[in-house]
Amino acid sequence: MEKFAGGIENMITNTLGALPKIGVGILILVIGSFIVKAILKGLGRRFEKRDMEKSLRGFLLSIIKVVLYILLILTAASTMGIQTTSFLTIFASAGLAIGLALQGSLSNFAGGVLILLFKPFKVGDYVSNTSGTEGTIDKIDLLYTTLTGPTGLKIFSPNGPLANSVITNYSDISSRRYDFVVGISYDTNIKTAQNVIQEALAKHKEVKQDPKPIIFVNSLADSSVNLNVRVWMDKANYWDTVFAIQQIVKNALDDANIEIPFPQRDIHVISDKEIK
C-alpha cells in the first residue's frame, strides 16, 4: 500500500514538474498553427500571382501544410520532453510502405507534377504523342490527363507515360503545313500540271502564299508520276482547308483534262508458237 501511495505521489510530482513544459508545448502548437496558416495563405497568393495551375497549386499547398504541421508537432513534443525518434521511425516506415504499394500511381503523380510545372500543353490544346494518343486537352489532373479524341471519345491518359513520351502540340503554333500526293499520268506534261495545281491553290483564301505552296515530283510510280503538294494554312481553319483544297485540286485537274490514273498493269500474252 505504501508503494502504491509512493507511486501516486511520484506521478503527481512528475506531472506537476512537467506542467511548465506541457504549457510551453501547447503554446507552441497554438502560435505555430497561426503561423502555418499565415504561411500557407501567403504562398497561395504568390502561386496565384504566378498563374500556377490550380491542380498543382492545391497539391503543393497540401504537401507544405502536412510538412509544416509535422514539424510543428515534433517541435511541441520535443519541448514537452517526449522522445521524437519513434515518431520519425513510424513516418519513415509508413512512407516506404506507401511508396512500394503505389509505385504506378506515384509514377503518374510525378508525371502530373512535371506536366503542370513545365506546361508542354494546356487545356484546349490539340496534342498527340508517340503512344498514339491524340485529342484536345480537357483537364489536367495530378494522375491523369483527360482528352477528347478526333471521334469525340473521352481519353484518360496516365501522366507517367504521357510525360515520358514525345508530345506534339498542334495548338502552340500560328500555322500548319499540309502535304498530300497527286498522281498524274505519264502522258501529262509535269509543268502544266504544276501550274494548274498552283493556280487552283492561289484561289483559296485560306491557303497562305507566304510561304508559297510547293509542288514537286515525289516519285515515279508504276502507274503515275506522283506530285507532292505542300501548303501552309492557319491552324484555326486547318481541317476545313485540308478537305477543301483536295476537292479544288481534283476539280482543277478535271477542267484541264489532266488524268489522275488508277493502278494498272500491262499483260503480255505469249503464244505456244512464239515459245517454239
pLDDT one-digit tens code per residue, 158-211? 888 888 888 888 887 778 899 999 999 988 999 999 999 999 999 888 898 888
The grid coordinates listed for 108 are 503518374
- pLDDT over threshold 70, residue 112: yes
- The pTM score is 0.53
- If we measure between CA atoms, which residue out of 273, 231, 235, 227 comes closest to residue 253? 227
The 10 Å CB-count burial string (b at 16+, else e) for 235-244 is eeebeebeee
Beta carbons within 8 Å of 135's beta carbon, 6+ residues apart: 126, 127, 128, 147, 148, 149, 150, 155
Question: Side by side, which strands form the sheet with 126-129?
Answer: 154-158, 144-148, 134-140, 126-129, 167-169
State mean pLDDT over 99-114: 69
Closest alpha carbon to 72 in 121, 40, 132, 30: 30
Percent of the chain with pLDDT strictly greater than 70 = 77
pLDDT (tens digit per residue) in 6-63? 555 555 555 555 566 677 778 888 888 888 888 888 888 887 787 776 666 766 777 7
Quick one: CA dihedral 190, 193, 198, 199, positive or negative?
A: positive
Give pLDDT, residue 194.
93
Helix (H, G, I), strand (E, B) or coil at 27: helix
Maximum pairwise Cα distance, the chain:
134
Measured in residues, the chain has a length of 276
